[in-house]
Structures are given as structure tokens and as C-alpha cells.
Amino acid sequence: MLNFKWQHLILSLACILLIIACNSSSPNIQPDKPVIKVATDPTFIPFEFQTPQGEVVGFDIDLMKAIAQAANFTVNFESLPFDGMISTLQAQKVDAAISGITITPERLKTIAFSRPYFKAGLAITVREDNKDIKNFQSLQGRQIGVQIGSTGADFAKTIPNAKIITFNSGPDFFQDLINGNVEAVISDAFATLYAINNGKIKGIKIVADLLTEEYYGIATPQKSPYLDKINQGIATILSNGKYKQIYQQWFQYEPPQLPR
């Protein structure tokens, strides 16, 4: 009788141990979704900006959320000034950044980029009543406003004798353009066009064609463990129509073809 009880007890114990062992190595248990910390500077309408209630919204924000959903990770946005973004990525203080960041050979020396997700370019913006700045040549010797650390700032350095005035963010240089403190601004055409067309800024106009052809990418530190996942997410939303839907929601027309 006692013998049987002992046998029973040992058998039960063995079963419990087996169940614990099986559960802890079970492949069916879903590991938690990784949480990726993504920096953005919400002063770049319509890519990232703040609503009056303080919510960060925009094309990039919707896109990043869709990429995360497609590639099974969670995004935690963090607001950072654009100028400090590259060095913050380099120091690995954030996992990624989405902020209308142009992929450039110079930046690729210190950080990595996803495949291109947006076709962009620089434009010259002047006050509506300006009649003499029409193209690159007519910028010589002028006072030009740019955003510090941007591709527009790099471009302005190539203009002979230009007096370059740097600003922390887009909205600031447009105010100074309207006030007459700068004669022209060199910045991302899409963002400027959107602001003009949607009545966010009045009294300015874009002149000439695109000065450059640029592509935005999602930036990460070099050798990021998340870059593959991000690229995979971009590929998914490009092929399943989600990219097109978000693009049309913000820009109202067909998205252009993107290189790989």
C-alpha cells in the first residue's frame, strides 16, 4: 500500500517537472515584440509635426507605424532636434530615426539607412513679391536661410559669395523670409509646397525646378539588429498597398517609383 503511494507521488512529480520543462522551451510561446526607440523632429510638416493637443502626427509617423505592424515590432517615438539626430544614432542612444532624413554618402559614413521610402529634393523659396531670384545663378551673393545640419545647408555652401544664415527648424526660416531678414530659403521642396498649398504659410513662393533629387531613408546606427526588420516592413507595405494608401492620404496623388 505504502509502496503504491510512493510510486504515485514520484510519478506525479515527474509529470509536473516534464510539463514545466516542456513549457519553458515550447516554440509555440510568442516572444514579446521588440520595442524600437525611434527619434523624430516634429517640426517638418507634413512628415512629422505636432497637433495643437501635442500629438505627433504625419506621413513618417503613419509610415513607421505601418512598417512596425508589418514587421511585428512596437515603436516608441522620441522627439529630438534634427541637428542632433545623426550623432544620437551614432552613440546608439536611439534604435532608429525617421524625420525626412535624406540618404547621403556623407551620412552613410557614420550611420546606416533603410531602403529609400520617399522621393524628395531641394527647392528655392522666396517672398511672393521677389522678382529677381529665379534660379541657382541668381542666388550668388544673397542672404540665404537654411536649417542647420540639413542637405539644404550643405547645398547653400556651394553658392558663390552667399551669406548663409542657419536656423534650428523650418518654421523659423520661413518667418524670417516673410520678414525680409533672408532673401531666399533652400529647403525640402515637398514640405514647403505642402505648407504653402495648405495655407500654413502665406506670402512665399517656390521658384525654379527641383535643385536636387534626394531620397529619404529610415536611419539606424551602423550594424543595427533592426535594419533587416525595418527593410522587410517597407517591402511588405510597398507590395500590399499600405504605402500607397498612406502616401495618397497625405499627398493626394500617385506615389513615384522608388529605387531599391
The DSSP H or E segment spanning 192 is helix 189-197
In terms of CB distance, is 68 or 103 closer to ligand GLN?
Answer: 103
In terms of CB distance, is 73 or 148 closer to ligand GLN?
Answer: 148
Q: Tell me how far apart the alpha carbons of residues 250 and 31 are, in angstroms, rounded to a whole number.
A: 35
Q: Tell me how far apart the alpha carbons of residues 39 and 24 are, in angstroms, rounded to a whole number.
A: 35
With CB under 6 A as the contact rule, which of the stretches 27-35, 99-107, 133-141, 231-239 interacts with ligand GLN?
Answer: 99-107
With CB under 6 A as the contact rule, which of the stretches 30-38, 98-106, 173-181, 192-200 interacts with ligand GLN?
Answer: 98-106
Among 46, 100, 116, 233, binds ligand GLN (CB under 6 A): 100
Question: Rule CB under 6 A: is residue 101 a binding residue for ligand GLN?
Answer: yes
**Of 86, 90, 80, 88, nearest to 101 (Cα)?**
86
Could you say which residues in the range 64-83 bind ligand GLN, by CB under 6 A? 82
In terms of CB distance, is 67 or 153 closer to ligand GLN?
Answer: 153
Among 173, 188, 211, 230, binds ligand GLN (CB under 6 A): 188
Question: Rule CB under 6 A: is residue 44 a binding residue for ligand GLN?
Answer: yes
In terms of CB distance, is 125 or 151 closer to ligand GLN?
Answer: 151
Question: Rule CB under 6 A: is residue 150 a binding residue for ligand GLN?
Answer: yes
In terms of CB distance, is 171 or 255 closer to ligand GLN?
Answer: 171
Among 125, 151, 192, 220, binds ligand GLN (CB under 6 A): 151
Contact 49, 58 (CB under 8 A): yes
In terms of CB distance, is 183 or 188 closer to ligand GLN?
Answer: 188
Q: How far is the CB of 215 from ligand GLN (least distance, A)?
A: 10
With CB under 6 A as the contact rule, which of the stretches 10-18, 62-70, 72-80, 95-103 interacts with ligand GLN?
Answer: 95-103
C-alpha cell at 257: 517609383
- What does DSSP say about strands 143-147 and 184-188: parallel, antiparallel, or unpaired? parallel
The DSSP H or E segment spanning 251 is helix 242-251
Q: Tell me how far apart the alpha carbons of residues 187 and 120 are, in angstroms, rounded to a whole number.
A: 11
Q: What percent helix, strand, coil does the chain show, rounded to 5?
A: 40, 25, 40
Q: How far is the CB of 24 from ligand GLN (least distance, A)?
A: 46
Among 88, 114, 125, 147, binds ligand GLN (CB under 6 A): 147
Residue 238's φ and ψ, nearest 5 degrees, are -70, -35
CA distances in angstroms from 233 to 57, 62, 222, 226, listed in the order given: 20, 13, 19, 11
**Of 40, 145, 228, nearest to 155 (Cα)?**
145
Residues at the contact surface with ligand GLN, assessed by CB under 6 A:
41, 44, 82, 99-102, 147, 150-151, 188
